Structure 1
Amino acid sequence: MQGVQEQRHVYYDRDLKIEAYNLGGIVQKFPNHFHDYYVIGFVEGGKRHLWCRGKEYDLAAGDLILFNPRDNHYCAPINGEILDYRAVNIEIEVMQKAVKEITGKDFVPHFTQNVVYQSDITQSIDELYGAILSQAPKLKREEAFFFLLEQVLQEYAEPFDEADVSEPNQQIKTLCDYMEEHFSENIILDDLLSMTNFGKSYLLRSFTKQVGVSPYRYLQNIRLKQAKRFLEEGVAPIEAASMAGFSDQSHFTNFFKEFIGLTPKQYQKIFTKEQENDRHGND
Structure 2
Amino acid sequence: MVDHVRAWHPAVPSLREVYHARFDHCYPMHTHDDWAVMLVDDGAVAYGLDRGDHHAVPGALTLLPPGVPHDGHSAIEGKGYRKRVLYLEPDWLPSGAQGLAVRRPTLAAPGPIVAARRVHAALRDPGDLMAAEHWLLAVRDHVLDHLGSPAPTLRDTPLARRLRELLDDRLTESFTIAAAAADLGSHPSHLVRVFSQTYGIAPHQYLVGRRVDLARRLLVDGHRPAETAALAGFHDQAHLTRHFRRILGVTPAAFASARPAQSGCVAPVVGAE
Aligned alpha-carbon RMSD (Å):
2.7
* Unmatched 5+ stretches in structure 1: 97-106, 279-283
Q: Structure 2: 5+ residue runs without aligned partners?
A: 266-273
Shift of the alpha carbon at 1:90?
A: 0.8
**Which residue number corresponds to residue 115 of structure 1?**
105
- In 1, Cα distance between equivalents of 2:32 and 2:143: 19
- Partner residue of 2:20? 22
Q: 1:221 aligns with which of 196, 200, 209?
A: 209
Q: Which moved more, 1:111-120 or 1:54-63?
A: 111-120
Distance change (3 Å), C-alpha of 1:149 and 1:221: same
Equivalent residue, structure 1, for 2:140? 149
Determine if contact 1:175/1:195 at 8 Å carries over to the other structure.
no
AA of the residue aligned to 2:86: V
Q: Is the 8 A contact 2:225 2:252 kept in 1?
A: yes
Percent of aligned pairs with the same residue? 19
CA-CA distance at 1:233 after TM superposition: 4.9
TM-score of the superposed pair, with normalisation by structure 1: 0.79
C-alpha separation in 2, matches of 1:7 and 1:247: 27
The structure number with the bigger radius of gyration is 1
> What aligned pairs does 1:1-283 form with structure 2 within 5 A after superposition?
2=1, 5-16=2-13, 18=15, 19-24=17-22, 26-78=23-75, 79-93=77-91, 95=92, 107-108=94-95, 110-111=97-98, 112-113=100-101, 114-116=104-106, 118-120=108-110, 121-156=112-147, 158=149, 162-196=150-184, 198-268=186-256, 273-274=261-262, 276-277=263-264
Hey, what's the Cα distance between the residues in 2 that align with 1:86 and 1:233? 19
Letter matched to residue 87 of structure 1: V
Q: Which one has more relative contact order, counting CA pairs under 8 Å at least 6 apart?
A: 2
Q: Give, in angstroms, the shift of residue 238 of structure 1.
A: 0.7
TM-score (norm 2): 0.82
Kept in 1, the 8 Å contact 2:9–2:220? The answer is no
Q: Distance in 2 between matches of 1:59 and 1:226?
A: 25
- Tell me if structure 1 keeps the 8 A contact 2:107–2:146: no
Q: Deviations over 1:122-160 (max 9, x none)?
A: 2221121111023352342232222222211222254xx
**Partner SS for 2:162:** helix
Q: Provide the C-alpha distance between the structure 1 equivalents of 2:148 and 2:119, rounded to a whole number of angstroms.
A: 20
1:16, distance to aligned residue in structure 2 (A): 3.6
